[in-house]
Structure 1
Amino acid sequence: MVKDKHVIEALGKVNVVIENGQITEVGPSTEMKYCPMFHAMHNVEELNEEFIRKNITFRIEDFGMCTPQRIIEMDDAITVGVSEILKTNLEEGNIDCVVGACDGAGTVIMTQPRVVQGVGARVSGLISTTPIPEVIEKLEQKDSIVLNPQTAELNQLEGLKIALKKGYKNIAITVIPSTMIEELRNYPVDDDVNIYIFVAHTTAVEPDIAEMLFENADIVTACASKYVRGYADEHELYYYGEKVPIFCASDEGRRLLDTRLKKINKPLSTNNHPRNKEDSPRKLL
């Protein structure tokens, strides 16, 4: 029997291990101690181990993260995040499916907007996971395809291959920073196929990785990354948000972001630089 174990990256590049619905390990804290988003939403002054445990415990209890009780459908969690952008563009017909990742299932190909939102919202970067049959069953009942139900494998490239075999033409992929992003961008596809790459959880990426992200992705979240923010400012990329910006790495990324902004009657993306950096995460890594 596979041991129930899930590793997520949370709140400033800290790895948290969850086993059988309980936090069993919280990695050492980093120099990133303040997040303006958590300060605004929860009045949190410091991202210490106590708060991290409290926050992850809330996610486990609230929507069943990393447990059989996992809720996989959800309405918008915040105004503009990766899952909200994807949900809106699915609704508008700009994308056909999303290759994402879900705790308890691994890589998943999703076509229903509320499932994309439910799987992606309020969840930190998924480093590894193990199968939870109840979660996999819920996803399959909503027409999602789980890449490997036996292992809950995380492999977005293999997920892309399945999406292509199913005949999808406009495929969005969510992924954390890795060299696989270059493979995703360079994977051979027909001329009528579009691949949109969304990169999240960029805190602490190295300068060469940050540059690679912008060369290959369509949307890159700032998180607490010094080099992602620096590259975006230097090249005056279009973005939305001041505290934790979402950067457009391509014209297509901007189109998808602006589709969400139009939907909720927000100002469209701008390339006014320098941004207001007074209320950024501290310290940037």
Structure 2
Amino acid sequence: MTDEHIIEAIGKTRIVVRDGRVVEVGKPLIRSCPLAEKFSCSVHEMTEEAIRENIEERMRAFGMCNPARQVTDTSDFVLFGASELISSALRNGLVRSAVIVCDGVGTVVVTAPDQVQGIGGRVSGIVETSPIPQVIGRIEGLGGRVLDPATARIDMPAGAAFAYDLSLSPAAVTVATADDAETVRSAHPDALIIAVHTTGVSAEEARRLAAVADLVTACASAAIREEAGPRALLQAGTAVPVFAMTPLGKRVVLTKLQETDRQVLVSGKALPAPGGREPEPLI
């Protein structure tokens, strides 16, 4: 089997890593992102060279897409990132497991907050991946359960069903499509559904995600801001906001705020609330 991993990152740029090397960097869909400028290997100008350097730095720093992949971490990279919010929900008993995606592993069910952060904290959208036995073994050795070790397939509804079959419910489940969100919600009404990787979604897709997800990350999506923002109960952040669409989603964000020692501003106003720089352009 070919060792190949397809990622969409940094402006939803298509990146292919094959046999430990970045072999393809596509064209980014946006020009700039304030979050990308804060990466440890920052991307101020979205050129092929800068994006390649960022991915290669991740591969060196924590082993992304290679057998040395680190799978635990306790550091927050952003306050309201999906992995940070899920980790907090696990620590505080709001969910019992997390169904997420790891490069070299595919869909995985984990119960430890440091595994959620180690797997998801520094990785963007994984489109396809192939199995890396060393990483699979590392996750399983820490108690994680891999949906399909033979193929490392990515299937979030199947991952959610796997978690519930293991009696690890309720589960937090990340989804990137409305189809997956609706399937998970129908099968598991108590799941915490987090919509991620939303840059470029259509207005219809945004409406469907806002209707069933508990938390929706806005990324560089104009449609998510327009569809989810006015319906949200709470907005976390302004440059790249996260919208809490349900009481459970709101509770997850407020629980995360209780944990942080950062200064925060809480203000009642109509949503979505702009402020500061946003990704450019919103698409």
Shared fold by TM > 0.5? Answer: yes
Q: Does 1:254 align with 2:250?
A: yes
TM-score w.r.t. the length of structure 1 is 0.93
In the other structure, the counterpart of 2:5 is 6
Residue in structure 2 matched with residue 272 of structure 1 by the alignment? 269
- Structure 1 runs (4+) deviating above 4 angstroms are 40-44, 268-271
Q: Which amino acid aligns with 2:228?
A: A
Residue equivalent to 1:124: 124
Q: Quote how far apart the aligned CAs of 1:279 are.
A: 0.8
Q: In the TM superposition, what is the alpha-carbon distance from 1:38 to its structure 2 partner?
A: 2.3
Partner of 1:102 in structure 2?
102
Is 1:225 the counterpart of 2:221? The answer is yes
**2:135 maps to what in 1?**
135
User: 2:167 is matched by which residue type in structure 1?
Assistant: G
> 1:238–1:270: 8 Å Cα contact kept in structure 2?
no
Task: Kindly provide the CA deviation profile for residues 94-138 of structure 1, in whole angstroms up to 9, marking residues without a partner as x.
Answer: 110001110000000001110111001110101000000000000
| Structure 2 counterpart SS, 1:272 | coil
1:182-261 map, 5 Å: 182-187=182-187, 189=188, 194-235=190-231, 237-261=233-257
Q: CA–CA distance in 2 between the matches of 1:102 and 1:268?
A: 33
**CA 1:203–1:256: 2 relative to 1, 3 Å:** same
Deviation, 1:242, is: 1.3
| Conserved? CA contact 1:107–1:147, under 8 Å | yes
* Deviation (angstroms), 1:276: 2.7
Q: Percent identity?
A: 36
C-alpha change, 1:219 and 1:236, in structure 2 (3 Å) is closer
1:230 Cα deviation (Å)? 1.4
TM-score under structure 2 length normalisation: 0.93
Cα offset for 1:257?
A: 1.1
- What does residue range 72-91 of structure 1 map to in structure 2 within 5 Å? 72-78=71-77, 79-91=79-91
Alignment partner, residue 36 of structure 1 = 34
Once superposed, what is the RMSD of the aligned Cα atoms?
A: 1.7
Is the Cα contact below 8 Å between 1:239 and 1:271 reproduced in 2? no
Offset, 1:28: 2.3
Q: Report the AA paired with residue 157 of structure 2.
A: L
Q: Whole-Å Cα distance in 1 between the matches of residues 142 and 183 of structure 2? A: 29
Deviation per CA, 1:3-47: give whole Å up to 9, x if none. 0000000111111000111101112232x1110122345664321
Q: How does 1:151-190 map to 2 (within 5 A)?
A: 151-187=151-187, 189=188
Instruction: Give the match for residue 148 of structure 2.
Output: 148
CA-CA distance at 1:232 after TM superposition: 3.2
Report SS of the residue matched to 1:67. coil
The change in CA–CA distance for 1:40 and 1:73 in structure 2 (over 3 A counts) is closer
Q: Tell me, yes or no, if the aligned pair for 1:239 and 1:270 is still in contact at 8 Å.
A: no
Moved more, 158-167 or 134-143: 158-167
